[in-house]
Structure 1
């Protein structure tokens, strides 16, 4: 199996786990979302710290948390991902996974806009068309039920900002995520201690709930590890295409498994989003192929130029 094939399989694995995760959190719908989030944060820290310890990389945490600027960025990243995790858990519990899937469909286009306004990245015509179609979809959803799809927009924005912060942090993915959950661990532990002291905690009340809460660490960690594995082996354009498996599976869970309401506004908005993502993805693939051809051409020119020089130097 080639490295590219390994990367594709890893990305598919990550996207599938994320996509079917509503089923897992639905099993914990009777547990308050704050408690589920606290367990998710704590057991993620245990899992990631354990992996780093096995790899002999725990000292990297100290180096990563050096300097107030870096600590501030890690804390801000922790805030963004915590809001994102909490809202996803909450939306699953109140039967709003249609909106969570929409949020993760919108996310790539929000990331494009953030890149434009925060990093002055240039957008092509196809990207502007995709963003416009996404804005139109949000307008349809707002005009239909008469309520702004705040869950979708908040999920997309917090994850987009999380990506921006990660771009500013010169830290590897596993160390970075471990630092993030480490920063918010005191709040999580404090919340869990208080909940258990009140006799309201789900942990320890039944083997089923206890195992599910313990599993929140691996359920969170495994797709992140697979994602980081994929990102090192395949192009970002391929990563972008495969990640749509995630919201697609969430959408199917919401409509097929959970029987969530799919309104006429949704029937208009989702095709608009899918069209936007198709345009965006095709443009990304073309750009990726063009950059690869340019790189290969540059290597070819370099070889062509240097070869005669080396041959000339070898002559007596």
Structure 2
């Protein structure tokens, strides 16, 4: 039952991330940086309120004594803010298909960063998957005459964010609170500046104002679902469900917002999907071998 509930949490988190472009698309009349600033402010206020309501304030405050953790979370904060800004700009400028490509290749970029930052070794399946993914990106570059900057930027910033988070052991709410608190003052100052200039969107349109506040809440919900899932299921199970997000984004971009998806995109995505299939099979095989090794060791 525990594993089933964990899988439900994981699928819910990734489905949430997959359909969220529909929400942000409703705010495409607002500049992307203003949306990101609101997202940081409201996420910070909501998650801090949650920590207080859960009576975790003392444990949360204690984190501020650890300078190394704070430095890593500061770096994570800058990375996630950059990722959010790119994602929201892309969604609101008709590049949802490109965002899906970024999150499809993100697991493979993470494998590459594991090699660089943590000295991890690549299995044959992982090496082949990386080569196929790189070839898929190359196909897109050659066919379109340009680098898929949105896709690569999203994949790289989120993979680097994961590197920073891997080095920090904190509850999801505490980590997110500190990350958003780092940018709370500059984000609030920016929004105040916009309001003084008369160009801010908040409080001028009730629907947009409510949606900007909800943006902070909708940032928190999938992260809490993911944290709950991570405690109940294996990393392999989490890895298998993570493709739900970019799959939903791709379908939304093509079927709902009529973004182009021709033979070039199909060929590039095809190489990347093939790479992900190899990567997934390799992950399952590796987990099976680890289970067998543990059984032999305990026999």
Q: Deviations over 1:33-74 (max 9, x none)?
A: 011001111111111111111111122332222243222211
Which residue number corresponds to residue 230 of structure 1? Answer: 229
Greater Cα shift, 201-210 or 67-76: 67-76
Which residue number corresponds to residue 293 of structure 1? Answer: 292
* Post-superposition offset of 1:199: 1.6
Structure 2 residue 22 is the aligned partner of structure 1 residue 23: yes
Which residue number corresponds to residue 204 of structure 1? Answer: 203
Q: Deviations over 1:83-114 (max 9, x none)?
A: 00000000001100111000000000000000
Which residue number corresponds to residue 111 of structure 1? Answer: 110
Aligned pairs, number: 299
Matched position secondary structure for 1:161:
helix
Which residue number corresponds to residue 277 of structure 2? Answer: 278
RMSD (Å) for aligned C-alpha atoms: 1.1
Structure 2 residue 29 is the aligned partner of structure 1 residue 33: no
Matched position secondary structure for 1:28:
coil
Measured in 2, the distance between the counterparts of 1:27 and 1:73 equals 33
Measured in 1, the distance between the counterparts of 2:113 and 2:64 equals 26
Which residue number corresponds to residue 182 of structure 2? Answer: 183
What does residue range 1-316 of structure 1 map to in structure 2 within 5 Å? 2-299=1-298, 301=299
Matched position secondary structure for 2:269:
helix
Matched position secondary structure for 1:184:
helix
Measured in 2, the distance between the counterparts of 1:133 and 1:98 equals 19
- Is the 8 Å Cα contact of residues 64 and 179 (structure 1) preserved in structure 2? no
Q: Deviations over 1:251-288 (max 9, x none)?
A: 00111101001133211101111100000001101111
Measured in 2, the distance between the counterparts of 1:229 and 1:119 equals 26
Measured in 2, the distance between the counterparts of 1:296 and 1:215 equals 48
What is the TM-score when the length of structure 2 is the normalising length?
Answer: 0.97
Matched position secondary structure for 2:200:
coil
Measured in 2, the distance between the counterparts of 1:109 and 1:216 equals 29
- Is the 8 Å Cα contact of residues 99 and 151 (structure 1) preserved in structure 2? yes
5+ residue gaps, structure 1, are 302-316
Moved beyond 3 Å, runs of 4+:
296-299
Measured in 1, the distance between the counterparts of 2:149 and 2:79 equals 15
What is the TM-score when the length of structure 1 is the normalising length?
Answer: 0.92
- Structure number with greater Rg is 1
* Post-superposition offset of 1:18: 0.2
Matched position secondary structure for 1:144:
helix
- Is the 8 Å Cα contact of residues 101 and 251 (structure 1) preserved in structure 2? yes
- Is the 8 Å Cα contact of residues 41 and 217 (structure 1) preserved in structure 2? yes
Measured in 1, the distance between the counterparts of 2:220 and 2:66 equals 26
Measured in 2, the distance between the counterparts of 1:177 and 1:167 equals 14
